[in-house]
Structure 1
Amino acid sequence: MRGRRAVAAGAAMAAMLAGTVAAGAAPAAGAVREAAGDRAERDGPDRFRGQGIDWHRCRTGPDDVEGGLLDEAKAQCAEVTVPLDHRHPEGRTIKVAMSRLKAADPARRRGVLFYNPGGPGVPAMSLILQVRKAAPEVAARYDLIGMDPRFVGRSTPFDCGWPVPAVGSAGPDRRGFERTAALAKDLASRCAVHRDVLPHASTRNTARDMDVIRAALGEPKLSYLGSSYGTQLGMVYLQLFPRRADRVVLDSAMNPDLFGPDLTRTQGPAVAAMTEDWAAWAARRHDRYRLGSTPAGVMATLRRIDRAAARSPLKVGRHRVDSRVLPMILFNVTAGDGPEAYGSFAADVRVLNAAARGAEAAPTPVLEEVLTGLSSPDAGGTASVQTAILCADRAASRDPETYYRDIRAHRAAEPLFGALTRNLTPCSFWPTAPAEPPTRVRNDVPVLMVGATGDPGAVHAGQRAAHRALAGSRLVTLRGVFRHTVYGGLFAPRNACVDAAVERYLVRGVMPARDAVCSEARPR
């Protein structure tokens, strides 16, 4: 989930990320790879792998804008049948939808490239159009495949009917924490009607679905480009099907040892660093935004807004912003480190600052959209399905007190965001347990990783952990920026150094001889 307009779901980033269990010592990489390959042979029965694919037009009706764009681009769409539970393929089946853009240069076609943009829970079918636009040389060599993960978009979706999309922040005291715990429990209870499918919403099963599609396409191997959560999906695929991977790029990798409902608790230092970078930017523009003439002054303004919301809800147009909601709005600082994103966020903070002083405060168009999203029902089940994926990947603590103790222990160090990123989620009350243990990623498959040191979503320490787990990987690090995803301008500004490394690998198969560093001069 990216962008300020995604952060009405972007506060669902606070329901998005993962656990607290560290892995022990890894066995030899070759042994892990061999065992994973053996398991892979049993994970996909021939009746699914050998199924035919009935390609058809993508548009489903007059209101299907994305399907219309795919048709205009001469893409094809299809559905494949996969087991609900890959461990019991004789049981119930579901449909998974996908799109395909054929290689623009058939004479130089290498194979298929699956793309997953992140999430979890983000439909990917139409996003292959962005890949073709961003990387035409890659699109010339590969059929681009966009798969809506199981239970997402067109792939047998479900909806828990949540009245709001996120639990939000625990606020400044016990009362606020108990209010969010009650909300989390209520949201979880609304998903109980889908308890027959919830344990099977895991990343592990989505990776198995990918391999069914690979086989149905008649491809001996697949290449893969994944960003954000898409890196977790890619790493799980590599662990399950190491012999089926061709060229794999992971952009802004998650920590595979921690991925699950509680990973946001690792984000505090990175989000704080980005907030301070934005504060320095805003201080240099005090004449415009009036938030403080020094970085310390801007940060003091944020704290004043936070204290005011804790006393009583801020009046922002037709909305009321309390201590549960405010940190989700402030988390939008992570949307990007460019002048446009920073300026948009500063304009929103200026509105909140006026409301904190008791003045009339009309929201900017972006803030209006975010506030409307945060107070509206979960559109199409996006947040509930996202949560279902996380709850299926790793069990969360069932003791709310563990979260409250953690929040209290970090209030001083993380005053603005700790009660948000460390708060419990519906997974603490989830009606089902994961069907399988978390996938332990340890292999030596060649992988190219790219990421930024200041990434607020996939923190750099987590990227390094993924790099260690993937013994055959090379890591290209973009220094000096605060961005979540770095390749191709897909969700952040382009960097020529990163783009060259990725496309050299995908197009020519040339992996960097060693880890490398890219840099960028950001406008101040």
Structure 2
Amino acid sequence: MNRYRWGVAAAAAASVAIVNPALAQAQPQEIDWVACPEYLGYMDRGGLPADLDWQCGEVEVPVDYADPDGRTIPVSVSRIPAEDQARSKGALFGNPGGPGEQALDFWLPIEESDGPGARLHEDYDLVAVEPRGLSYSGGVACDAPVTAMMDPAAAYKACMETDPQLVQSLTTANTARDMEVVRESLAAENGGAGAGAGGAAADGGTMDYLGYSYGTYLGATYATLYPEETGRFVLDSAVDPDWVWNEQAAQQAEARKQRTDDMFAWIAAHDDTYHLGDTPLKVFHAWKGITDEELSGGMNLTPPDAQMGDLPELVRPVGAPVLDVINATAEPRARADGAVRVLTGADNGRATSGLTGTTLNAAGSREMWPVVARRMQDIRQYGAGTLAPGTRMVDPPQLTTDDVLFTAVTCNENPQSGDPVQAALAQFNANTGGNAYDVMAQQARGGADCAGWPASSAPVPLDGSGLETKPLVLQSQRDALTPYPGGVELADQMDGVLVTVQGGDHGVFGRGNDAVDEVVTDYLVDGVTPQPQVLPEAQIRMPLTPPKPAPLPAAENLDAAMARGFSAASDAVTAAAEEVDQAVAEATGAPVAQGDAAQGAQAQDAQADVAQAEGAQAEGTAAATDTSTDAPDAAADAGRTGPVAQAVDEAVDRIGAALGVQ
């Protein structure tokens, strides 16, 4: 059962036509377009331009395409119509990757100068299909806490007991088939000829597509299943179809290791800005000094190679042999340090700096590298927060298919059984201080990612030989999330054109790289298929020098600071409750209760911040008094727009001020 609906009736149930026994397909449906709900993710990022028409709707799709007359689920779709409908080329579908990433707000923001939507909004209706299994597309709650997502076997058991048919249907091929239902419905809506005149979409409503990361594999699967409906496809940062899925995760871990060293080198090259060390090794040790104190001890990594700048000046004239020895022994020395930490329990730190997670995220984009460096600066100057002893998650939320969709898709179609030798190596290295990225790779090859979650289907063998237009494959040379060989292999299997991009950013179109954006726009809008080529990487747009941060309490003082903060917040809440009670009483004529809460608020009169609160309270009471002689039936209106609403607003402001929230 879909837990979140638009609040409008879905389209009428679809009749079904058998295309062939293996790929039965729901027929086109009339989509009831409404404004997308405001609680979708993008609303948390600043809202939308007032004139933007962001539409959402649903189609009904079979849970099992081999049984098209059986059970169906609603799959959500969003659309932003082209700015100029007269020149629109029809629908351009998009997917952000994952598996499991929400797609409905894929094309937002439109109003900014970059981003894929801003480049293509004038020429296309921008469409995104929410993958099945997410909340807006048939997702269900499983009978387990969300912490079960860390264990594939536990997640599988909980979700299979809830809805086995849906869980086993969560595959790339079925998501591609859902996209085809949407494509057919849009084509039917526009008379079978797309939304506008001309372009690829006008010829029978074929699909044009932009997909990032896993979205490349989804797009290639669609193009294999529906070659005649495939138009211009851009596959950005490609999954290697021969690595699905254990080897893909292993290759990613090994590429992250290389890219993390690239980040240390970049920070060292900007030592005049960050002052964290002028060699990669110095930056590494600054990083390690912070992450070693984090929960679970951060990550044990082999340090980058030492350079002459790491040696004392007196040693540098004869430093080459010394460097050889240091670098040759770096891995065993790091392992020894890690082993000591494991054996002594020193890896159970309580720091909550978040630097390890930030570092992992930074592997995919150099825009995050200044963020890592600035975070290190702040921690060195102000300290990192610490988790109080005994702190734990209380009553964790319920597990849903949203939480396990990545595992569900990759494990349902994972043809690779785990290698027991790699599993044993992973356990050995984890217990003896091995490099964390090596352990991740060995765990993936050992089958840990799908342990206890059996495959339910086989991946679709990709084939682009029947495509009229060659797909455009974009791939960074040092991409840490989808390593470069994946782009080479996907372009080969799909008979596509590979455009290589220098550097290692993951997802290169619409990210401020003018050379890449021009190639993609020419391909999608004008139908110009490029030649294989190498393009430069984009410049980092994130400011290297941040605004001076507000002083933060040192780590050892955080507990006291939090206690003071909670005390101030409690006082503000107490005073706010008094004010709102007073305003309600004045508006309705009811007596005001004078209890402990009021006395507690009055006891804080000597404090400066509460004295300020009293002034606001007096204003609220006066406002309430002004309306106390109104007719009784006006009291309800006062609760919405009069003194009560004013009192509530002032109370919220006061509590926010106490918490330091604007």
TM range (shorter): 0.7 to 0.9
Specify the alignment match of 1:87 in structure 2.
66
Specify the alignment match of 2:505 in structure 1.
483
Indicate which of 283, 292, 301 corresponds to 2:268.
283
Specify the alignment match of 1:234 in structure 2.
219
Match runs of 1:60-79 below 5 Å: 65=43, 69=48, 73-79=52-58
Q: What SS is found at the alignment partner of 2:479?
A: coil
Indicate which of 355, 367, 371 corresponds to 1:344.
371
Which amino acid in 2 is paired with 1:164?
T
Confirm or deny: 8 A CA contact 2:237 2:475 kept in the other structure. yes
TM, length-normalised to structure 1: 0.74
Q: What SS is found at the alignment partner of 2:436?
A: coil
Offset, 1:112: 0.8
Offset, 1:51: 2.3
Mark the CA change 1:239 to 1:61 in structure 2 (over 3 Å): closer, same or farther. closer
1:210 maps to 2:193: no
1:389 maps to 2:409: yes
Which amino acid in 2 is paired with 1:503?
T
Write the distance in 1 (CA, Å) between the matches of 2:51 and 2:58: 20
Match runs of 1:340-379 below 5 Å: 341-348=368-375, 361-362=384-385
1:428 maps to 2:397: no
Specify the alignment match of 1:511 in structure 2.
529
1:244 maps to 2:229: yes
Offset, 1:507: 0.6
Confirm or deny: 8 A CA contact 2:146 2:403 kept in the other structure. no
Confirm or deny: 8 A CA contact 2:146 2:399 kept in the other structure. no
Specify the alignment match of 1:442 in structure 2.
463
Indicate which of 415, 433, 446 corresponds to 2:435.
415
Specify the alignment match of 2:619 in structure 1.
none
Mark the CA change 1:63 to 1:227 in structure 2 (over 3 Å): closer, same or farther. closer
Specify the alignment match of 2:616 in structure 1.
none
Match runs of 1:99-498 below 5 Å: 99-130=78-109, 133=112, 134=115, 135-136=117-118, 138-160=120-142, 161-164=144-147, 167=150, 183-193=151-161, 194-217=163-186, 218=188, 219=192, 220=204, 221-286=206-271, 291-300=276-285, 305=292, 306=300, 307=338, 310=342, 311-317=345-351, 319=352, 330-338=359-367, 341-348=368-375, 361-362=384-385, 381-397=401-417, 402-405=422-425, 415-423=435-443, 424-430=447-453, 432-434=454-456, 436-444=457-465, 445=467, 446-471=470-495, 473-479=496-502, 481-489=503-511, 494-498=512-516
Mark the CA change 1:109 to 1:387 in structure 2 (over 3 Å): closer, same or farther. same
| Count, aligned residues | 444
Indicate which of 519, 543, 546 corresponds to 1:501.
519
Write the distance in 2 (CA, Å) between the matches of 1:71 and 1:165: 41
Q: What SS is found at the alignment partner of 1:362?
A: coil
Write the distance in 1 (CA, Å) between the matches of 2:282 and 2:353: 25
TM, length-normalised to structure 2: 0.60
Q: What SS is found at the alignment partner of 1:128?
A: coil
Write the distance in 1 (CA, Å) between the matches of 2:379 and 2:414: 37
Confirm or deny: 8 A CA contact 1:165 1:376 kept in the other structure. no
Q: What SS is found at the alignment partner of 1:464?
A: helix
Mark the CA change 1:189 to 1:422 in structure 2 (over 3 Å): closer, same or farther. farther
Moved more, 124-133 or 148-157: 124-133
Q: Which structure is richer in relative contact order (CA contacts within 8 A, separation 6 or more)?
A: 1
Q: Deviations over 1:159-218 (max 9, x none)?
A: 444533864xxxxxxxxxxxxxxx443344333323222211001000001111111112
Moved more, 496-505 or 385-394: 385-394
Q: What SS is found at the alignment partner of 1:429?
A: coil
Which amino acid in 2 is paired with 1:342?
W
Write the distance in 1 (CA, Å) between the matches of 2:32 and 2:55: 10
Write the distance in 1 (CA, Å) between the matches of 2:375 and 2:40: 36
Which amino acid in 1 is paired with 2:529?
M
Q: What SS is found at the alignment partner of 1:449?
A: strand
Confirm or deny: 8 A CA contact 2:254 2:438 kept in the other structure. no
Q: Deviations over 1:10-45 (max 9, x none)?
A: xxxxxxxxxxxxxxxxxxxxxxxxxxxxx9665665
Mark the CA change 1:287 to 1:362 in structure 2 (over 3 Å): closer, same or farther. farther
Offset, 1:415: 1.6
Identity across matched positions, percent: 29
Confirm or deny: 8 A CA contact 2:276 2:286 kept in the other structure. yes
Offset, 1:280: 1.3
Confirm or deny: 8 A CA contact 2:244 2:415 kept in the other structure. no
Offset, 1:228: 0.8
Offset, 1:50: 2.8
Which has more radius of gyration? Answer: 2
Mark the CA change 1:132 to 1:386 in structure 2 (over 3 Å): closer, same or farther. farther
Mark the CA change 1:516 to 1:64 in structure 2 (over 3 Å): closer, same or farther. closer
Offset, 1:289: 5.4
Write the distance in 2 (CA, Å) between the matches of 1:348 and 1:314: 21
Q: Deviations over 1:407-434 (max 9, x none)?
A: 758999982312234324452211x531
Which amino acid in 2 is paired with 1:156?
G
Moved more, 411-420 or 81-90: 411-420
Mark the CA change 1:210 to 1:184 in structure 2 (over 3 Å): closer, same or farther. closer
Confirm or deny: 8 A CA contact 1:257 1:441 kept in the other structure. no
Write the distance in 2 (CA, Å) between the matches of 1:195 and 1:351: 48
Specify the alignment match of 1:16 in structure 2.
none
Write the distance in 1 (CA, Å) between the matches of 2:421 and 2:398: 27
Q: What SS is found at the alignment partner of 1:450?
A: strand
Mark the CA change 1:258 to 1:286 in structure 2 (over 3 Å): closer, same or farther. same
Which amino acid in 1 is paired with 2:521?
E
Offset, 1:401: 5.7
Confirm or deny: 8 A CA contact 1:80 1:213 kept in the other structure. yes
Offset, 1:153: 3.6
Confirm or deny: 8 A CA contact 2:477 2:501 kept in the other structure. yes
Specify the alignment match of 1:50 in structure 2.
28
Confirm or deny: 8 A CA contact 2:232 2:524 kept in the other structure. yes
